[in-house]
Structure 1
Amino acid sequence: MGDVSNDNSTDPMSAGTPQAPGQVLSVPVSGIPAGERLLTVPDVADLLGVIVTRIMDDLNQHRLIAVQIDGVRHIPARFFTDQREINKFVPGVISLLADGGWEDAEILDYLFTADESLPGRPIDALHGHLAREVMRRAQAMAIS
């Protein structure tokens, strides 16, 4: 599948991403481009200060989505804020698109692909003043 490498350094591409033990994706996987920081389920539990079963519940309830690499689930670090919380817009976008029939890989591809009309990637816009625009677009795409 994909390769990940351990990297705990500060990365200018990950501004707004919590710096926790994580891995940087070295090749694209399921809609996530190379260079993205990924966290395992235990890493996310540590980041949020909760038990692992809480993160599994978030995955099962589709509040978060993960990719599987070598049998291990990885969650994009961009789903979280610097305050070590789930970005409040991420579960909503996932839910809107999933309810519209989108597969997880398609949702990740949408979130991590640059959109000149935003400008930038929707996942980055969810951390700024364009978050509501991304939500509006996700809602429109889900019903079309």
Structure 2
Amino acid sequence: MTDSVPTDNAAPQTTGPTDWLTLPDVAERLDLTISKVHQKIRDRELIAVRRDGVRRIPADLVANGTVLKHLPGVLNLLADAGYDDEAALRWLYEPDPTLPGGTPATALAGDQAREIKRRAQALGF
């Protein structure tokens, strides 16, 4: 089940995913236990942020019953560059007209994964 963009008491988010999944929904979609989903978040294979007090994951990052192939690598590169989960999420969904699909997250799902990884790596320098 996906939810519309939830709100938080933090700064307003101008960009971001339109559909969110709760962790139990992700577990069901990926056919994993909830503890395995928590492990994937700890291992930076998935990104989860709190919205309305509930940890949620953007639905498009777990499309077709699997985590986007290059997402873990990008999340690790962003963490190495000093990005926390909120900042990494903003970066993934920041509009960029030079990318197909308009955001790094959308391009990551397509054939531009190498370019997204290169851009994430450049943030560390």
Which TM-score band (shorter chain)?
0.7 to 0.9
Do 1:65 and 1:75's aligned partners in 2 also have CA atoms closer than 8 Å? Answer: yes
Which is helix-richer, 1 or 2?
2
Partner SS state of residue 65, structure 1: coil
Partners of 2:2 and 2:20 within 8 A in 1? yes
Report deviation, 1:33.
3.2
RMSD: 2.0
1:96 aligns with 2:96: no
Q: 1:108 to 1:79 in 2, by over 3 A?
A: same
SS at match of 2:4: strand
1:23-47 deviations in Å (ceiling 9; x for gaps) = 1105587757366100000000000
Structure 2 alignment gaps of length 5 or more: none
Contact 1:25 1:37 in 2 (8 A): yes
| 1:114 maps onto 2:92 in alignment | no
- Counterpart in the other structure of 1:24: 4
SS across alignment from 2:63: coil
- Structure 1 segments, 4+ long, off by >3 Å, are 26-35
**TM-score, structure 1 normalization:** 0.76
Distance 1:124 1:34 in 2: 11
Give the 3 Å change call, closer, same or farther, for CA 54–32 of structure 1 in structure 2. farther
Identity across the alignment (%): 38
1:66, distance to aligned residue in structure 2 (A)? 1.0
Q: Per-residue deviation at 1:92? A: 0.8
Number of residue pairs matched by the alignment: 122
Change (3 A) 1:62 1:35: closer
CA distance in structure 2 between the aligned counterparts of 1:94 and 1:125, rounded to whole angstroms: 15
